[in-house]
Structure 1
Amino acid sequence: MHPSVQNHTIQPRNPNYENDIIYVTKYLKWTLNSIGIWPTMLKGDGSILPKIAIVLSNFVFVFFEVQCMLYITLEEKDPLLRLRFLGLVSYSLVCLLKYWALTMRKSKIKHCIEEVNTDWKQVELQKDRTCMLKYGKIGRDLIVYCAVFLYCGNIFYITILQYAIASQIDDDNHTIRILLYPMYSGHIDAQESPIYEITYILQSLCSIMMNAVICGCCGLAALSSTHICGQIDIIISQLNDLVDGKFSKKNCTTNTRLMNIVQRHTKILKFSAMCETVLQEVCLFEFVGTTFVICLAEYYCITDWQQDNKLGVLTYFVVLISLTFNMYLWCYIGDLLIEKSTSIGVSCCMIDWYRLPTKTTQGLVLIIAMSNTPMKISAGRIVYISLSTFGNVLKSSFAYFSFIRNTLME
């Protein structure tokens, strides 16, 4: 039976599961619905809406990305301005690649969401529900923090920086109004009204959608990792109850309790592997792209400081903080998953295992061996995301910044 069909046949044991699921996934659902990635349960005409959102999002992303590239390669001659626009092009290209990765993994994302819903339905004990809600709140808060920092940086760029640049006068005494993204003039004259106003609004929406992609990727990682952490807390609770069986059903033997622990542990290992498959390309683009854009933002801050452009320094500093904090959230999520998954083996050693039958103790040894390889989030199966990785990102960004600075000074 297909997993999606099987999930619908399971009878819920948690009477509050609907409210719990809404509480945990509400903000992530809003974000992914805006770009057509959230798995929809609508039938008929409603099922077409996500496809329309995906087509429109791809069109907007690709159109403005191509326009920026054409402007930099064919129209802009100043190398310093080319470098300044390069950060914007790199940022939008990374968002586009991550959006394509999410689109390709949409079926697996749906399966992960269904697994989360199933686990919430099957919660029986209130203490287990409390553990899941504790980590569900952490994942929910991480999505909010990511959105606040990203959209604050976006608002600074859309409003304050554009005000600082203001309009310019060219050699022919024509007023050039500033756009968020440079437009190649060979196709359309974006300076004429109402084309300029329409283009500016569409570019603002495009910028907001890019932030929705970044926030949605981080939210998926936060939801999956914190859900796994909640399940691990339930396993640890069951391990602590393995010897005495105070919270187990009557006539439930030690071997039966151990079997339930192994089944749950195996299930979350498979779920973790599925989530890593969904996120590995996204993490790779995030890791490489954010490192490069951070170093460019550092360079922009230095050059604007030298030119005494205080509003430019403020804007790029806010963008730099938002990008750095977003990378920190990714690394915090990965480190939380690594630390929590290794705690299962520690809990096996801390219980009164000497009171268990010999065969049951041998089963604990297998659980300890499995927990010695922690669950991780990898960037393309090349680099594992953790707080130590965050330090490496900062070191790499400063190294790239020094290279660009020395190259331009020569």
Structure 2
Amino acid sequence: MTRKSTISPVIMFMLPWFGVWPGRSIILINRLFWIVTLAFTGFCHYLYVSTHLSSENFFNLVDCLCSFLAQVKVLIKLVMFWINQQKLMEILAVIVNDWKDCANSDVSLRVMIRKAKLSDRITNTILILHVATIIAYSMGVVLEDADATDQTIELPYVNTLQLPFNVSTQRTYRLVLLTEIVHLIFLNTVAGFANAMLLTLILHVGGQMEILESRISQFIFKEIENKKESITGTIKIIQKHQKIIQFSENIEIIYTHIALCVFASNMAMICSIGFLIVIAIDTSNVMELVRCLLFLVITNLEAYIFCYAGEYLSNKSKAIGFAMYNCPWYNLKPKHSRILLFVILRSQKQLILTAGKMMELSLVSFASIMNASGSYLSVLLAMQ
């Protein structure tokens, strides 16, 4: 079957289950599921904090904060996709049309197939990594197999929380653990889905920019005898560039508030997880150390994905201006070549992704997050 989209079939299959697909009755049920389950786990986190608020439980309180922030990020990602569902549908429609346009050119088709294959690999890698992390993250509690009939101990759960009901039998305890692990796998899948979706959309934009650069480099005006055809060709290039700009702006609309949430929460989470790692090393708690390291890897990876996507988009947008300047525009008459100035001028304003319209996403931003997290970590260790 001929490929018709850059987006991985896995992501397309997952969209309705995350409440993002209009015209299906299951959407409302799925959205209700996510709202109820996330509200319940948030309430369990609140119960733990309210009943364990003391200096002796500082380690567990920080762990509770990390897991709570991770679930808040997932909720915000879902809500932003629900709010901007129409924009997402427009993006998917544009992707399908772009693939139809590529069918007329072997060069363009090869570029998009290469991007699609890369998208599939990235999506599968991210999702597998998120699921494997949760399984490994939960293994310590599963192997511990605490005795639920012993009322003198506090039962350990995968996340640091307190249930609003009493667990007094081993069967109930294991059922609760299994439910928690499955729910965490779903949550991490949502987080991985949002990150993979961003990279996929950015790769599609990059592919379209490479196609535009190819068209510009092959646009040799001296071989065009008809002036009308020359003007038509330049206008098509401008229209293609404008289409890419609109596509990038739609990505920005969907992800700008998600990126703001990721930046704010990840800064606190990296700092807090770093604190947990230092404490785990001091206490020689190997199992807790492994859990924290896995959590830290996933958190850093998410921040890096967002920043790399912004850097990639910015660099690709600059390349269009260079490609236009290097094409044989000098073979046109001045009144015709002036049309190309619009593309050169517009490409000087780089396409970017931002965090809440306040900060540009780039590798420099990623470095600033790590620096700020390290600074806050030193303060947190001093407060210990």
Q: Distance in 1 between matches of 2:41 and 2:359?
A: 31
Alignment: residue pair count: 381
**Structure 1 unmatched ranges of 5 or more:** 1-15
1:184 deviates by 3.5
Secondary structure of the equivalent of 1:122? helix
Which of residues 72, 75, 91 is equivalent to 1:93?
A: 72
Secondary structure of the equivalent of 2:156? coil
The residue aligned with 1:158 is 138
Distance 1:191 1:396, change over 3 A: farther
Identity between Structure 1 and Structure 2 (%): 17
1:139 deviates by 2.9
Q: Give CA-to-partner distance per residue, 1:106-130, whole Å, 9 cap, x none.
A: 2221121111112112222111111
Q: Does 1:268 align with 2:244?
A: yes
Residue identity opposite 1:93 in structure 2: V
Q: Distance in 1 between matches of 2:17 and 2:159?
A: 22
Distance 1:133 1:158, change over 3 A: same
1:263 deviates by 0.7
Which of residues 159, 162, 184 is equivalent to 1:181?
A: 159
Q: Is the 8 A contact 1:166 1:177 kept in 2?
A: no
Q: Distance in 2 between matches of 1:35 and 1:334?
A: 25
The residue aligned with 1:209 is 186
Q: Is the 8 A contact 2:7 2:201 kept in 1?
A: no
Q: Does 1:392 align with 2:375?
A: no
Which of residues 52, 65, 68 is equivalent to 2:45?
A: 68
Q: Does 1:125 align with 2:108?
A: no
Residue identity opposite 1:84 in structure 2: D
Q: Distance in 2 between matches of 1:256 and 1:58?
A: 52
The residue aligned with 2:346 is 370
Residue identity opposite 1:120 in structure 2: W
Matches for 1:307-326 after TM superposition, within 5 Å: 307-326=283-302
Which range moves more in the overlay, 313-322 or 51-60? Answer: 313-322
The residue aligned with 2:7 is 24
Residue identity opposite 1:114 in structure 2: A
Q: Distance in 1 between matches of 2:370 and 2:19?
A: 33
Query: What RMSD in Å do the two structures reach over aligned CA positions?
Result: 2.5
Which of residues 12, 18, 38 is equivalent to 1:35?
A: 18
1:338 deviates by 0.6
The residue aligned with 2:128 is 148
Q: Distance in 1 between matches of 2:289 and 2:71?
A: 21
1:244 deviates by 4.5
**Structure 2 unmatched ranges of 5 or more:** none
1:60 deviates by 0.9
1:215 deviates by 1.3
Q: Is the 8 A contact 1:102 1:282 kept in 2?
A: no
Q: Give CA-to-partner distance per residue, 1:209-254, whole Å, 9 cap, x none.
A: 22122112112211221111111111111111222488x9x99711
Q: Distance in 1 between matches of 2:80 and 2:14?
A: 16
Q: Distance in 1 between matches of 2:375 and 2:168?
A: 39
Q: Distance in 2 between matches of 1:148 and 1:382?
A: 32
Query: Which 4+ stretches in 1 moved above 4 angstroms?
Result: 163-166
Q: Is the 8 A contact 1:332 1:386 kept in 2?
A: yes
Matches for 1:153-302 after TM superposition, within 5 Å: 153-159=133-139, 161-163=140-142, 167=146, 174=152, 176-185=154-163, 187-192=164-169, 194-244=171-221, 253-302=229-278
Q: Is the 8 A contact 2:221 2:332 kept in 1?
A: no
Q: Is the 8 A contact 1:177 1:191 kept in 2?
A: no
Q: Distance in 1 between matches of 2:175 and 2:144?
A: 20
1:351 deviates by 1.3
Q: TM-score, normalised by structure 2?
A: 0.91
Distance 1:245 1:61, change over 3 A: farther
1:319 deviates by 1.9
Secondary structure of the equivalent of 2:169? coil
Q: Is the 8 A contact 1:287 1:379 kept in 2?
A: yes
Q: TM-score, normalised by structure 1?
A: 0.86
Q: Is the 8 A contact 1:239 1:351 kept in 2?
A: yes
